[in-house]
């Protein structure tokens, strides 16, 4: 299984220190029904008092040094302030108080303890009093809380202002990202009735590699080699899947096959792709300003990118009228382009593209759209999150062309689910369909040797049932 996220999907074995930190973090975030609301509020009050006294005492803008040194300097001050308070806290509670004040000063407050836990793949905040996390594909309620909605709004503002965005009554929805690239979505009142809601999709500290895919049986070596040949041969590839299926991770790793000699332009709503090539131009959309003007959409960036002499165009996700421009780019000399869309199957992907092209405002006949799609897209790769959490590349499908008004496609590799284990985890096998892709000659002429035997009908890999 795989994912662009920290957990569940493809996570490397934690180092001893990291494993200890995860254990401590998991223990700290578990709900504790024995702690009274009065004690929690008293603790939060003490934390607020210390934070205010710290702000009054220090001018952080005049302090020099890296963040670690600054934290040590401020920790000494906070410790001294805590000594002056009649806290009636034991040693562990006092250390926690100091740590949380530092988190409020340098980080994202209550979120810091969750962000340090590499086993967490999603952080879901439903108002100030309810914070869920996802570990290994399962949701858990944590003991983490914000003081009130104003406290949560302050944290949201710190996140979005760091990337030049805002979230207020005029713009109550926003997409942003954290320093580590994790994706953030926030929606606030009046749209969110029970208080601000924040969804954070985590990224692992260690990038997911193809070795991880194969090790977790998310893909077979034969499929990996075939996809590498397709990318290096400049085939246009569409990655499809549902929410949380690992599309962006797959896009990242497919992009890793692009040679270092090529110029790549990436276009995203919130920059999260982590390409490693030296010649990359990263473009990001911009929301409208407070007057409702100045919005730069993916379509605007995509049209502009055609003038930037790209060898490859990589769009994080097509979700609207920019799909038409993407198809046209693929059809007009920008072979090797990559993008993702939300769809539950390869056939659904075709219908989604048709719908999104119609959103461009041109009254194009359906047949013309399908002709564009059939000539532009060579390969569709479907990622899926299965029962129990594993993420797999479930189909690799060739777009063969048109027969009448129908786009013809053929599965080359696919995953067949055989059942669900006693632990509730899906298992199955990867099979080759026995169909050789029509572009096999193109792979060979591009210098990519692919053994034709891998396409013979056979079982390539089987999941364990335990």
Nearest alpha carbon to residue 254 among 121, 347, 393, 391: 393
Asked if 70 and 60 count as a contact pair (C-beta separation under 8 A), the reply is yes
Residue 453's CATH number: 3.40.50.300
The last residue of one of the domains, among 201, 234, 262, is 201
Q: At what angle do helices 346-358 and 322-331 cross, to 10 degrees?
A: 110
* pLDDT the model gives residue 8: 40
Mean pLDDT of 349-363: 90
What's the number of domains the chain is made of?
2
Query: Quick one: 323 and 418 in the same domain?
Result: yes
End-of-domain residue from the set 171, 201, 231: 201
Is residue 20 domain-shared with residue 47, that is, in the same domain?
yes
Clarify whether residues 142 and 283 are in a common domain.
Answer: no
Looking at the structure, tell me whether residues 82 and 169 fall in a common domain: yes
> What confidence score (pLDDT) does residue 9 get?
42
Comparing C-alpha atoms, which of 370, 456, 440, 459 is closest to residue 409? 370
Mean pLDDT, range 15-23, rounded to an integer: 50
Q: Which of 90-99, 394-403, 405-414 has the lowest mean pLDDT?
A: 90-99
Residues 188, 217 within the same domain: no
Full-model pTM = 0.77
Q: What is the pLDDT of residue 431?
A: 96
**Has residue 22 got a pLDDT over 60?**
no
pLDDT over 60 (residue 258): yes
The pLDDT tens digits for 311-321 are 999 999 999 99
- What is the extent of the structural domain holding 449? 210-462
Chain centre distance of CA 381 = 17
Maximum alpha-carbon separation in the chain = 82
134: domain CATH number is 3.30.450.380
Could you tell me what percent of the chain has a pLDDT over 90? 48
Considering the domain architecture, whether residues 194 and 216 belong to the same structural domain is answered as no
pLDDT reading at 262 higher than 90: yes
User: What digits encode the pLDDT tens for the residues 94-110?
Assistant: 666 667 667 777 778 88
Round to whole Å and give the CA distance between 278 and 53: 47
Q: For 208-223, write each residue's pLDDT tens digit.
A: 889 999 998 999 999 9
The string of DSSP codes covering 3-44 is: -SSSSSSS-PPPPHHHHHHHHHHHHHHS--TTS-HHHHHHHH
C-alpha 301/C-alpha 321 separation (Å) is: 12
* pLDDT of 387: 86
Residue 403: pLDDT over 80: yes
Beta strands in 234-324 (DSSP E): 237-241, 264-268, 280-284, 312-315
Q: Is the peptide bond before 190 cis (omega within 30 degrees of 0)?
A: yes
**Model confidence pLDDT, tens digit, residues 412-450:** 999 999 998 888 888 999 999 999 999 999 999 999 999
- Mean pLDDT of the 325-354 span: 92
| pLDDT confidence tier of residue 343, bands split at 50, 70 and 90 | very high
């Amino acid at each position: 299984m795989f994912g662009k996220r920290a957990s569940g999907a493809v996570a490397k074995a934690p180092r001893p220190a990291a494993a200890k930190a995860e254990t401590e973090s998991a223990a700290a975030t578990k709900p504790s029904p024995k702690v009274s609301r009065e004690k929690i509020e008293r603790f939060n009050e003490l934390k607020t008092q210390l934070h205010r006294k710290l702000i009054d005492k220090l001018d952080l803008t005049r302090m020099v040094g890296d963040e670690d040194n600054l934290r040590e300097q401020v920790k000494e001050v906070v410790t001294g302030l805590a000594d002056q308070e009649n806290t009636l806290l034991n040693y562990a509670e006092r250390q926690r108080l100091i740590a949380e004040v530092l988190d409020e000063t340098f980080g994202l407050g209550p979120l810091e303890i969750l962000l340090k836990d590499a086993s967490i793949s999603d952080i879901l905040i439903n108002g100030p009093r309810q914070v869920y996390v996802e570990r290994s594909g399962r949701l858990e309620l944590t003991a983490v809380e914000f003081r009130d909605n104003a406290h949560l709004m302050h944290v949201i503002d710190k996140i979005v202002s760091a990337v030049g965005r805002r979230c207020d009554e005029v713009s109550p929805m926003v997409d942003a990202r954290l320093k580590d690239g994790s994706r953030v979505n926030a929606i606030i009142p009046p749209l969110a009735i029970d208080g601000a809601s924040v969804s954070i999709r985590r990224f692992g500290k260690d990038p997911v590699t193809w070795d991880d895919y194969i090790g977790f049986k998310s893909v077979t070596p034969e499929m990996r080699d075939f996809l590498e040949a397709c990318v290096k041969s400049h085939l246009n590839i569409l990655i499809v899947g549902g929410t949380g299926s690992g599309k962006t991770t797959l896009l990242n790793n497919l992009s890793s096959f692009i040679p270092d000699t090529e110029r790549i332009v990436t276009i995203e709503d919130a920059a999260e792709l982590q390409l490693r090539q030296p010649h990359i131009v990263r473009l990001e959309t911009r929301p409208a300003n407070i007057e409702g003007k100045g919005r730069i959409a993916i379509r605007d960036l995509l049209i502009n990118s055609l003038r930037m002499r790209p060898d490859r165009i990589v769009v994080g996700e097509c979700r609207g009228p920019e799909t038409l421009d993407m198809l046209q780019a693929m059809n007009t000399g920008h072979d090797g382009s990559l993008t993702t869309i939300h769809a539950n199957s390869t056939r659904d992907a075709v219908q989604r593209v048709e719908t999104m092209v119609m959103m461009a405002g041109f009254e194009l006949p359906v047949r013309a759209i399908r002709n564009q799609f059939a000539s532009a897209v060579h390969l569709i790769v479907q990622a899926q999150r299965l029962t129990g959490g594993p993420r797999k590349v479930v189909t690799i499908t060739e777009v063969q062309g048109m027969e009448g008004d129908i786009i013809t496609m053929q599965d080359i590799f696919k995953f067949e689910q055989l059942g669900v284990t006693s632990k509730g985890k899906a298992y199955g096998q990867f099979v080759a369909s026995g169909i050789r892709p029509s572009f096999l000659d193109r792979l060979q002429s591009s210098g990519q040797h692919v053994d034709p035997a891998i396409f013979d009908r056979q079982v390539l890999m089987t999941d364990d049932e335990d």
